[in-house]
Structure 1
Amino acid sequence: MIPDENRFESDPDAALGTVSGLPKGWTVGTPDPADRFDVARLTHLLRAHERHGRGWAGAGVDDVLVEVSEHGLRMRENVVIRDEDGDVHAWGSVHDRSVGRMLFVHVVQRDLPDDVADRCSDLLLAWAQAQARTVGAARGLETQQIDTGAFQGDERQARWLAGAGFERVRTWWQMSRPVTPEEEGLVETPDHWEQRDVVFRLVRRTGDGMPDVDDLREVHEVLEGAFVDHFNSSEETFEEFLFRLREDPGHRWDHWWLAELVDGDALRPVGALIGTVSESANGPDGSYVSYLGVLEAARGRGVAKGLLRTIIADAAARGRDRVGLEVDADSPTGAARLYTSMGWATKYVTESWHRDVVIG
């Protein structure tokens, strides 16, 4: 279940204790989501971080509000470092993602003097470790994983993480595929089509336009089963799963598909794809594959390829020009070969860095 109150320590002073080593007048605090200047500054920091790491910025105000809004704070906590004028120069965010797994966002202004940037980073990392102990204790764990990331080639971020005891554990290819209008005809209709005894369809909608809860549970169960043997998989309740997915600014209920195997007179869910919208300020929007999972017993029957063809056709029907996704560079399923064969190419590379914090 989603907790009524988050499991983190909301007071940075309680988490960090006495803070020293910052320039005169600089302070540690929390961002104010109601302050448009705070939100604008966080957005600027995040976009500059992205631009340095991969060459362009994609984050917007909605992405920041996912982290700092009252709604987001049910599962998150944030800390910022301000100068004497109140401007934010560093930002950390933690997310109680699932049992034993805490996500950590770590952003420091790119053009700070090295000694100031290093001190800001030290404080963010110390705060994250304190939060890991707090959330791990609240969940009754012996160790709590901190899961953070970096753009490949960001030597400053890698140096900070390695120095704080994090290990680089995985590489991820961020891939994109162009979509043409003609590809609307890849499938009969993205809403419902069939191939080789597999039915591909959108999750059903009820009379009030909301998705059918049973279908949503099927999507969750398929993905939990499909990823149980994947890297860093961790248990997530149905309630946590829905809460998190609905926070995504690109979330749309009409981007959730199920694949069902015809089994006599019955249909058995064996695959699922959750898509989102990738909005663009300067051109057509794109679609994004947030999750694609196929149960092991159904692999090799064209289920994954069919779901990918479905989202491509859907994107074409909506006038979008691309479909993006992320793939584990070391995936044992051969997913990268499938994506490459269907036209996806790597645009940039990210890394996962982990540290296990002992509770107590």
Structure 2
Amino acid sequence: MSPLQPIPDLPPSALPAGWRARTPGPQDVPELHALRARHEVAARGAPTATADATLAEVAGDGAATREHLVVRDASGAARGWATVTDRAAGRVLVAVVVDPDLDDATGDALAAALFGWAQAAGVALAGARGLPRTQLDSGAFDTDARQQRWLAAAGYARVRTWWQMRRPVTREDRVVPAPRPGVVVRRLARAADGSPDERDLVASHDVLEEAFADHFNHHEETFDEFLARLRADPGHRWDHWWMAELVDGDAPVPVGVLIASESLDARGHPVGSYVEYLGVLRTARGRGVARSLLDAVTADAAERGRGYVGLEVDADSPTGAAGLYLSQGFTTSYVTQSWHRYVDVA
């Protein structure tokens, strides 16, 4: 963060009497995680984020690109939590969590204060990058009318719907169907010390950047930003990366990449696999590449004794991805929304 663009404070005058806002630290993680869990249960009936994920965001590897603010009431209890994430040039992720136990008037006022802080913090992040304007990217569960009301009041507009999908995995899924002729699916090559081959990492980044260039809200990410963000996820594992190549010519050509992570339960044990990325170059679409990559991650989950594979898909995607997932046995578990606002830095 540039010293010329400090993250703003939230003054006590913006809060109820006796309430205070400050930057949270590792000691706040258990209470913040409990606050988020209460919010998710109230919004969709079940918690989503794990304690490990909350720790990574606030005090772990994921903290480097995030700024946080926690609001405590006069008794010291955490009642609100806002996070801004420098996701990519021109895109700042905004998350606001408000205690569902608060009455409507207090909750509305606290949400307005936190969204106001997030806007100012997002402007500071964009200013540190030397940008004149940035997107603020937030969201809500499809069933959470309260969060949607707060987003609209803060100047955001609903722009997209996402299906959170899941496919059960059984022992029979351990058998990987053969790809179509000319297609090979493999894990990334590994160096002598066990780390992934840098050429494969670079190729993976290049394939995904090109594959998603025509997708909704894609913002280009540098190679270093891409790796740092994925490695900050507590569920990240190098052996959950797969590459698809066309072998029709003299040398294999990378055309598809799938990156998955471990889905952890409340005790931190892996119970499923989650597809973080699945991208196929436009020139290779129609050759069963995406299906073969899905077969690979499903078989891997079955070999590990996991119960499911999960992913997110754009409900309005023009690529036909939703149809592919439905044909592979995925069903929608719940629905989320993207809400955007654009702000000038000056």
What is the deviation of 1:221?
0.5
- Corresponding residue number in structure 1 for 2:50: 60
Structure 2 SS opposite 1:266: coil
Deviations 1:252-272 (A, max 9, x none): 000000000013220000000
Q: Is the 8 A contact 1:67 1:93 kept in 2?
A: no
The counterpart of 2:16, out of the listed 3, 6, 23, is 23
- TM-score of the superposition, structure 1-length normalised? 0.92
- The secondary structure found in structure 2 opposite 1:357 is strand
Partner of 1:147: 137
CA gap of 1:321–1:113, structure 2 versus 1, over 3 A, is same
* Structure 2 residue 337 is the aligned partner of structure 1 residue 351: yes
Cα distance between partner residues in 2 of 1:30 and 1:10: 13
Cα separation, partners in 2 of 1:269 and 1:140, compared to 1, 3 Å = same
- 1:186-232 alpha-carbon deviations (Å, 9 max, x no partner): 247xxxxx541111000011111111111111111100000000000
Q: Write the deviation string for residues 264-291 of structure 1: whole angstroms up to 9, x where unpaired.
A: 2200000000011112248971111110
CA contact under 8 A between 1:150 and 1:352: conserved in structure 2?
yes
**Within 5 Å, which residues of 2 pair with 1:40-55?**
40-55=30-45
What does residue 278 of structure 1 align with?
263
What pairs with 1:25-104 in structure 2 (closer than 5 Å)?
A: 25-33=18-26, 35=27, 38-69=28-59, 71-104=61-94
Aligned-partner Cα distance in 2 for 1:247–1:70? 8
One-letter identity of the residue aligned with 1:255: H
Task: Give how far 1:137 is off.
Answer: 1.5
Name stretches of at least 5 consecutive residues in structure 1 with no aligned partner.
189-193
Partner of 2:119: 129
1:213 to 178, 183, 198: 198
Could you give the per-residue CA deviations for residues 273-323 of structure 1, whole angstroms, max 9, x where no partner exists?
A: 001111224897111111000000000000000000111111111111110
- The one-letter amino acid paired with 1:32 is G
Unaligned runs of 5+ in 2: none
Tell me, yes or no, if structure 1 residue 202 matches structure 2 residue 192: no
Partners of 2:97 and 2:2 in 1: CA distance:
22
Q: In structure 1, what is the Cα distance between the partners aligned to 2:125 and 2:14?
A: 27
1:288 to 250, 259, 274: 274
Quote the Cα distance in structure 2 between the aligned partners of 1:347 and 1:58.
12
Match of 1:298 in 2: 284
Distance 1:289 1:70 in 2: 22
Residue 163 of structure 2 aligns with an amino acid whose one-letter code is W
* CA separation of 1:10 and 1:56: change in aligned 2, threshold 3 A: farther
Q: Percent identity?
A: 54
Match of residue 230, structure 1, among 211, 215, 223: 215
**1:334 CA displacement:** 0.5
* Aligned match of 1:191: none
**DSSP 3-state at the match of 2:79:** strand
Match of 2:155 in 1: 165
**Which segment drifts farther, 134-143 or 66-75?**
66-75
Quote the residue 1:325 is aligned against. 311
State the Cα distance separating 1:9 from its structure 2 match.
Answer: 5.9
Distance 1:6 1:70, change over 3 A: farther
* DSSP-derived class of the 2:242 partner: strand
Residues 145-177 of structure 1, C-alpha deviations (whole Å, 9 max, x = no match): 000110002111011100111000000000000
TM-score, normalising length from structure 2?
0.95
SS in 1 for 2:252: strand
Provide closer, same or farther for how the CA distance between residues 7 and 92 of structure 1 changes in structure 2, counting only shifts above 3 A: farther
1:173/1:70 Cα in 2 relative to 1: closer, same or farther (>3 Å)?
closer
Please give the alpha-carbon distance, in whole angstroms, between the structure 1 residues aligned to 2:331 and 2:278.
17
Letter in 2 for 1:205: R
Secondary structure (helix, strand or coil) at the match of 1:285 reads strand
